[in-house]
Each structure stands twice: as C-alpha cells, then as structure tokens.
Structure 1
C-alpha cells in the first residue's frame, strides 16, 4: 500500500480503523520483540522460525484486531454524517482514541510482566486474574512500581495522541461525507473478518515450530486472552484422541489393579476397589503441608546433582546457595520420594491431585468446576474414621474456589477471615505470612487433641509467591527481593513449626506430609519441559516412619494412596493413584500437564495429548532433560489415552462421588 493510497483511506469515514490497526500492530511488534529479548537463550533463531514468529505474529495481530475493531465498525456504520462531522464528535473521537491507545499500551506492558512470570502469552491464568481482582491487584501493587508504570504509560499515551493530532491523521476522516449504503457495505465487509477468524482460526493455529517460545511469540496476547476465556474448560471427547470407552475401562481396570486390591463390582465402568493391608491400622494425626511453588531442584537431594546451585535473579540481588536448610534436614529424616512429578502448573491442580487422586483434566481444575461436591477424596476417608478434617489457608479461601471445594468435600475451613488481629504479624496481598499460618495450625491441632479426636489438617502456604515479602530480620535475605527469599523464609517457617510441634503432646503420634503444589516455573523450549515438573514429597516423623529414599517414578495422584499405605489402612478406593511403596517397576508412571496439553511419562518416553486429536511422542533423558521427537510408542500412547479419557469420563458422569 503506497503512502498516497494510505492517506486516501485515512481521509475516509473508516480511516480511523486503519489508524487504529497501524497503532495496534506497531505496539504488538514492539511487544513481540521485547518478549523475544527476554527469552533470548530459549528462542530458536533458525531463520525460518524467526520469520514464522514475526510473519504468523502479524497475521494473529490482524486477527486479534478484527475482534477489537468490532464496536468501532458498528459505530461508524450507523452514526449519521451530521453527528459524525460535529465538533462534539471530533472531541469525543480524540478522547476515545486517547483511551484506546492507553488500553493498548497498558496491555503491552502487562504482557511483559505476564511473560516474565509464566513464560507464555496470556492463558486461563490471566482470565482468573480478571476475576480475583483483590489478590491480583494487591500482588501487582506490592510487586511492581505501579505509580511509575502507570505514569510511564500515560506519558507514552499523551505523546502518541499528540502525534496523531499534530499530524492531523484523523482530521480528514472526521470531516468526510458518506452515504448509508456505502458505509453499511464497508462495515459488513470488515465484520466478515472477525466472523471468519472465529470460525477458522484457533489460538493453536500458529503452533507449528518445535520451539514453544517461537510458537508463543507468533501469538497475540489479546487473542490469547480471548481464546482462554472461551476455553477454560475443554471437552475431552471433542478435542482429544479417543478410544472406545468400554475397551478403555477394561484396560484401565487392569492398570489400576494391585496385589492388595480387588474390584467390588463386575460393572465394566466401575473402578471401585477394596485395598487390604495386613496388620494393625495406625491412627496417626496428619499435618498435610502443601508448599507453594517448591521445585525439587531447590532441595539438597536434587540441587547437589547440579553443577551450580540455583541462581535466583531478581531486581535487587542474586543469591546462590542453600535456601532450604530446614527442609534438607527434615528430608534426611523422612520417607523421601525423589522422582515425583506435579500434575500441573497451578495450585488448584496440585490440590485436586493430592485430594482426589486422579489425573488432571484439560482446561480448568475440578476445584473450580461445577459438580465438584461430595467427591471421593482422601479427606472423606479420614472423616469416615472420625477425624477432625480442616483446610487451613493464610489467604481468603474464596480465591480459586478453594473454600467451596473443600467445605463441600467434608473439610472445615480456616482462612484469613478466621484469624484475629493479634494472630497476624505480617500480611501481603496473598495472605498472612507462613509463620502466622503455622501458629494458627498449632492451635487447631491443640483443639482437636484436647477434644480427644484425631485430626487431618491440610495447609496451603503462600509466602513463596511474588511479591516474596515476609517479616524482616527472620532470614538473611531481605524481604521483597528475590524468589530465593520467599523459599528460604518458607523453609524457615516450616522448620520453626515442626520444632514447636515437637514440644506438643500430640507430636509423637503425628506425621507431617510435605509436598509442593507445583514447581516454581514450567518455562522451557519444549511444549511440556518435563524436568521442570519435579517436586519434593516427604513424610516426616522419625519415631513413626522409617527414613529412606524412594526413587520410583510417580505422581501427585499417588500421594493420598501412599499416605494411607503408610498408615496401614484398608479402605475402599476410587483413586487412579497407587501406593508408591507397593508399586512394581511396570506400574511406575507420571502425569504432567498445562491447561491444554496432557503428558504421560513412562520409562524413558513422554506422550503428549493435545487438542485437534494431536499426539506427540518424545524420548526423554531424566538426567539432562533432553527431549527428542520419537515415532509412536503404541503401548504408552494407548495408556495415556486410557488414563486421561477415563478420568474425564469418570468426572463427567459423576462416577467418583463419595458413596
């Protein structure tokens, strides 16, 4: 398009749409380049991949803009020339463009910080962030120099609007004349673009390179947010590879069978089994600590295998060294599982897995879905045996629907709203500090013990989360600097908690389960960088549980059955998970996922199920993290489909309810 033709279009009624488009793609281009520079070490600089990231990126920017322009097109179609050419409308138009430019600039800056945190374009996490504004805005305010950012965006907006006014880029358009038939025709043609885009273009359309970062760069943030809003829950049968359900469950029953279990029904779709353990059942109290964002590599048993200690880069300091001295000491005295994988990348996926013992579902976690009441869970098993059952959280548990999920599955809720002022020594956007959480937990344990009742208290920590703030002077890393501080403070709080608990009369009959909700980050070149999903899992009390290390390949869905095995309980189960201690080598496997891709690890193979019935196979190296695309492994592919399809069928048809 020549300069002369460009000017001619700008002087027509719909010229303002072209101006917006040019601004939109310019900001997107700058944003894409900044994001590329942020992931310089991970992006593939193969010329074809770079061309694709920018060429397909321009295409996706255009698709995104087609949605963005809809209200502008509708307005231009139907407003009369008398109003359109008025002085009032001219002033209104400049104000509207000023606001629109600010939104586009603000989005570009927001994408920078979202990419810094998650290494991807907007996804369903961003959709959640639009829902939980109190926590999210508080986190942003505490994590970033918000006044400076807002002022900087405002300055750029003023400058951009000034250039539009100075160059008189809208003057011709605002003074143009049109006839109704012509503008309706033009408007309908323009509206066909978003209509066709909605039908033909998916957010995954541009995912054709083998490098995840190049694929993400080819996307547009606004379009990704729109796609995530529409696809927070994916219908497995519609989007993923499927087999016959009857045949799936026939094989699933074989996969779930173990030496100490028997099926209670011959119904082909019923996986209910009786687990039998010989000997006396243990009536241990259980303190179940789910730790925020605790990657396995932070701990000594993984860190010592690395050439260099973890490098925690932040705005203020770089820290290299041991950030988990207390957890390392506890691990040495624990039943420690060194090869366990988180099922997902968010807290609610981890909570779902350790509570329900089932593989993840594509889209949103069951914790946030409908029909998640009265499900078969580890908590229900404990409650049936007369245990006090509590979910204890330092923030407000309405976040991510946690209070609803746990309260409708047998748990009492204790969250920030239950803490008195004198119980809170420090708080941030996510909740009270971990020390306050643990101190309240001690009181809840004391209360149950005084009432003569055994207890299962499930805790969720928050301090190892941006903005990484905590009480001053507790550890040697200043608050609000790096993730290293968040980890080390959380480690200190856990160590202090167990020390205080050891002085309680109930300690000698209490085991402490410590497991991460997910890893600290899952960014990587691969679509599912499997080694980033490794997390610690330990069961501690040397007087009750013999310390040892178990290196079997396993998953978060195996945590509950393993806990019940340690307690030597016989029980009815609908878990997909198994007791790790009783696993045979043939039974070892793990599940990893993000909200769309479902991974299944077995032996040295990783199969990934994706939308559009796509299946990718890799040979993996658990020591180096290397992944090489491999030909189909029919057995592992079959098992992956069996597990994921069946887990979705069980949930969808309410076959995992508590009887």
Structure 2
C-alpha cells in the first residue's frame, strides 16, 4: 500500500476536517465568552464543555465529509486530474465550505435569540421558508454575508492552490483497493460515532448554558429533526392510569361543579351558571409580551403606558405564567385550556380538528368565531387548527396552496388595507383595523362575536410604521412601545363604536420575549401579563398563581355561564390557596409550580423538584421529593397526553 499516494489523494479532506474542528472550537469559545456571566466558571466545566464538544465536532466533521470521501474513493483512477475531476472537486468543496460556514454564521443570531444551539425551533422554521428568509433578509445584510462567505471560500481555495495541495490531489492515483480500505475504515468510524454519540450526553450540567455550549449546532439540528415528536408513554415517567385520572379529577373539581358521568376517564363536568350575559369578546394575544415590560412589574422605561392604564382599569392577573415558549403554545393554552404536552404543540399536530375548546362553548352560546392574523396562517398550521375548531379565518394570503386546506371560510387581507408589512405580517395597527371592520359588520347581526387576534409587531426584525413612537426601529424595546401604541389606538377607536359597551377585551401574551436561562425551565421567563378589560366587574389586581389555561374558564365564570367543561383550566375566581398552580414547559421538559415548589419531569423519565425563590428568581434543588406534587405533576401531563393521543379531546 502506497501511503504517500493515499495521503495526497485525501489531503484536502484531512485539511477540511482539521479546519472544521478549529472553527467549531472557535465558535464555541465565542459563544462562551458572550455568555460568560451565565456560566459556572471552573476548570471542570471548561473541560466538560470543550471535551464533549470536541466529540460532537468530530462526529459532524466526519459526517460532512461522507459524500466527498465517497467521491474520492470511487472516482475512476484514469479520470483523476482531468477537467471533469477538477470541476467536480471544486463544486463539492464549494458546497461543503458554504454549508459549514453558513451554519457557523447562523449560530450567532440563533444563540442571541434563543440562547441555545439549533433545536426544534430551527427545524420548524425550515418549513416556513418565506417568513424565515424574509425575516433574515430584513434583520441582516444578506448580500454582505453572502459576499463574506464567498470571499472566505476563495481565500481557502487560494491557500490550497498556493501550498500545492490541489496539485497533490489531482496528481495522486492510488489503487482502488487501497482507497476502498480507507473508505471502509472511514465509514466504520462514522457509524460508530453516530451510534455512540447522542445529543442527550451533552446534558451533564444543571446549567443549561453549559449544556448547550457542549453541543454542536448541526448535530443538535438533526437530533431535533429525528425526535420532532415525543410520545409520553415512551419517554416520561407514568402512574397507573386510573390513579392518574383520580388525581386529576379530584384536583379539577371546584365548588358548585359535578362530573357528568361516573367513568374514571371522563373529566367532563357541569359548570353551573345563569347564561344571562353574552357580550362580544375580543381576545388579543400579544406577541412576546413579558411581564417585566410593564410598569406594574418594575419597568421604568414607559414602554407600555396603554397596557399599564388598562391594567389599572380592568382585572389584572399579576401572577400569570405562559405554558410555553412559542406562539403556538400560547394559542394551544388559550383555546384548548390544556397543559403543554411534550413535543410539538397540538396546534401543529395532525388530527387536531373538532377538539373540545373555547370554540365548543362559544358555538353553543351562538357566537360568531373569527381568527385574525396578520401573516399567512399556513405558518405553524394556524389556519388548519383554528379552521378545524370552527373559526372563520382572516389572514394575509401569500399564495401557499396548503394554507387553503381548512374547513371554514377564509378571507384574505387585501393590499389596499395594508400600510406596513414585514416578514411576519402586517403591522398591529393594520390587524386592529381588520378587527374593527369585522366587528362593525358582525355587530349588526343578532348574535355576539368572538375574535382571536394574533399580533406580530413585537417580533424580530422589530420594524413598524415610521413616526409612530419616539424610539428607533430594530430593537425589542421599540417594538414593545409600538405594540402598546397600536393597542392604545385600537381601544380609542373601539370606544367610538356602538358595540364597545357590550364588548369584553382579554389581553394576554403568547409567551415571554426570552425563555433562556440557567435551568431547563426558567420560571421567571414564563411570567406574562393578562388583563380582562371592560367587564362589568370592579377593578382588581389578582395575585393568585395561575397559567394561560385558566384565562378563558375564568372569563366564562365572570359571565356566570352554565356549560359542560372538559378543560384542564379552572375559574380563578373559585380558586383557594390550595388550588393555585401554574403549568409551564418547553419542547421536552414539563413543569408544575405550586406554592414555592417547582416539579419538573423530563424525557429521561426523571422527576426533579426545586424551591422557587421568587425574590431573586432562583431555583434551588430540593433533596427530599414531595410525593404528592410529584404525582400531581405526572398525572396532569400523562392524562393530557393520553387524551389527545387517544382522541378523547374530540367533541362527540
């Protein structure tokens, strides 16, 4: 075996692999420096981060080389060095270098936004190319980035030519049997690494920043792609099903309620009331509105003067928590009133039509239902989900044929009614115009209306119409202030309408502006405001610990409605101190906060409990597990998952 010829033939591949490891380590170092104040600085953690990271980087570097090694091995010897060989080499290498460099560049804005390596969010975003590409284009100078990437590739090629590495590549003609031996060993190493290395092995620390730094972005991306759905039965700790149902049903039943059947797995119960009041209801779900933007929660920047005023004039829930970290989780919680089941939100899953939801109750009361969204509702499966619950759709049709696969009426927002639009949709003022127009039409009928409005302006790239506020566009604070301004204009215009006096406004965030932090779930990063405004009730600020799934059952309680409920959410006004709790989770980890105890369950069948110190916003691990809270947490998530999986959430 001529080792020199083999070495020369695979020399570019060797340089690529070494260069990849150096660059991956460099990126990891920069991300660590950016997050230095979030890390537990020690030699041990540094060794863990870079040691585990090196193993992931080796796996990804070898995987990137697979196609190129295949080419170098099986390309006929007699054609090596020909024009055809040279063109193919340059093409394959250009593609490899571009993908690798682009992935490294992309890690920095993704880390800035989510404080993680690529995960299921990146997988989801890959599906919605228009929104994502447009958002990137509006947020970053794409032509400049492409020019930089191409320049780096040219510099690499110049280096390889100058040091005669290409010359050795195109002049070396080792025997096929020798090349195949190299290929066999390469594939053996690759398969071994892909079999042994798992993304979960990077989760060695209680500090999520350290875990994420240990990972490789590309490896994490494909790991998320492979596990985009999580079956509760396979990945999470369970109780006996009858026991779990018993725990949930005991906890759900409030005063004045009774179950409709004696079946152990039927959670439907009768909510007593008079049904006298049926106002119009406008639910405004505001993009990324963290509680700490409000003056009520200590913000002194005057970003939310309208929301602050509405909070003082209505009913403010001061201790409200978002169930998740994405818009579809907020939608799921507000419409289905269900804890966040693992994996994708139910909004994005198959077979999610005709579920028991707020729409079920509202339709029984004779309400017209409208979902109003400023982007294309194809994104995140919104149109299919809301259409499947009986809503009429009002969105910005961008011509995606899949967006038309809904079961109810769809109206596209015309260009003539759009004053400003970015990647995620029309500005908040324009979406509120659609609401006012729709309300004017429907108020003339003999039935009340319910609107679910999803805003978009408080989303990167944080752009909106000029000359509206005194802050410069392009940053979160400015977007928050514009979002508040647009809401103020909407309420001001609504007050001039005849239907205003008979309309209740529910204002709530879909999730916080950021969910990143030290722990797998960061309780303070789920704290959101929720306000019920223009309800015939005294102004009040409620301190009870609750989550989004309780918002609509509470409104129905204030309206004194009688209905059958299969909600997991409860009427906050009926809660006593022992009933208070908040559900919250992310893609894989689920939690229940009750009192000062936060119980967390994850897809490694582990249960962890913390003491939640709300003063300094710290989760302190508890040595002794509270079995009652452990079982309650497991039961709620187990039963919620089981009911959707087995079709028990369907309206019969």
**Does the Cα contact within 8 Å between 1:121 and 1:220 map onto a contact in 2?**
yes
Q: 1:359 to 1:197 in 2, by over 3 A?
A: farther
Count of residue correspondences: 635
Task: Note the residue ranges of structure 1 that are not aligned, 5 or more in a row.
Answer: 1-6, 310-320
Partner of 1:292: 287
CA distance in 1, matches of 2:52, 2:23: 16
CA distance in 2, matches of 1:198, 1:533: 35
**Does the Cα contact within 8 Å between 2:5 and 2:172 map onto a contact in 1?**
no
Most deviating of 184-193 and 519-528: 184-193
Superposed, 1:535-614 pairs within 5 Å as 535-541=528-534, 544-614=536-606
1:51 equivalent in alignment to 2:44: no
Shift of 1:94: 2.6
Partner of 2:407: none
Most deviating of 341-350 and 72-81: 72-81
Most deviating of 328-337 and 175-184: 175-184
Shift of 1:19: 2.2
**Does the Cα contact within 8 Å between 2:68 and 2:92 map onto a contact in 1?**
no
Partner of 1:457: 451
SS in 1 for 2:578: helix
Partner of 2:473: 479
- State TM-score, norm by structure 1: 0.93
SS in 2 for 1:267: coil
Name which of 522, 526, 539 aligns with 1:533. Answer: 526
- State TM-score, norm by structure 2: 0.94
Partner of 1:650: 643
1:365 equivalent in alignment to 2:345: yes
Partner of 2:405: none
CA distance in 1, matches of 2:209, 2:340: 24
**Per-residue CA shift, 1:360-407, capped at 9, x if unaligned?**
121111111111011111012101221110000011111111011100
Partner of 1:385: 365
**Does the Cα contact within 8 Å between 1:44 and 1:50 map onto a contact in 2?**
no
1:447 equivalent in alignment to 2:441: yes
**Does the Cα contact within 8 Å between 1:336 and 1:537 map onto a contact in 2?**
yes
**Does the Cα contact within 8 Å between 1:394 and 1:431 map onto a contact in 2?**
yes
SS in 1 for 2:281: strand
Name which of 98, 106, 124 aligns with 2:102. Answer: 106
Name which of 275, 278, 287 aligns with 1:283. Answer: 278
Name which of 391, 402, 408 aligns with 1:411. Answer: 391
1:516 equivalent in alignment to 2:509: yes
**Does the Cα contact within 8 Å between 1:10 and 1:173 map onto a contact in 2?**
no
**Does the Cα contact within 8 Å between 2:64 and 2:96 map onto a contact in 1?**
no
Q: 1:174 to 1:606 in 2, by over 3 A?
A: farther
SS in 2 for 1:646: helix
CA distance in 1, matches of 2:414, 2:630: 52
SS in 2 for 1:372: coil
Task: Note the residue ranges of structure 2 that are not aligned, 5 or more in a row.
Answer: 398-411
Shift of 1:229: 0.8
Name which of 622, 627, 637 aligns with 2:619. Answer: 627
SS in 2 for 1:205: helix
Shift of 1:70: 2.5
Partner of 2:408: none
**Does the Cα contact within 8 Å between 1:352 and 1:367 map onto a contact in 2?**
yes
Most deviating of 105-114 and 147-156: 147-156
Superposed, 1:200-239 pairs within 5 Å as 200-239=196-235
CA distance in 2, matches of 1:120, 1:598: 18
CA distance in 2, matches of 1:471, 1:10: 62
SS in 2 for 1:477: coil
SS in 2 for 1:514: strand
Partner of 1:73: 69
CA distance in 1, matches of 2:133, 2:466: 23
Q: 1:576 to 1:192 in 2, by over 3 A?
A: farther
**Per-residue CA shift, 1:47-77, capped at 9, x if unaligned?**
1111211111111111222332332233334
SS in 1 for 2:276: coil
CA distance in 1, matches of 2:197, 2:635: 30
CA distance in 2, matches of 1:638, 1:247: 9
CA distance in 2, matches of 1:563, 1:497: 21
**Per-residue CA shift, 1:476-525, capped at 9, x if unaligned?**
11223x11111001101111111111111111111000000000001112
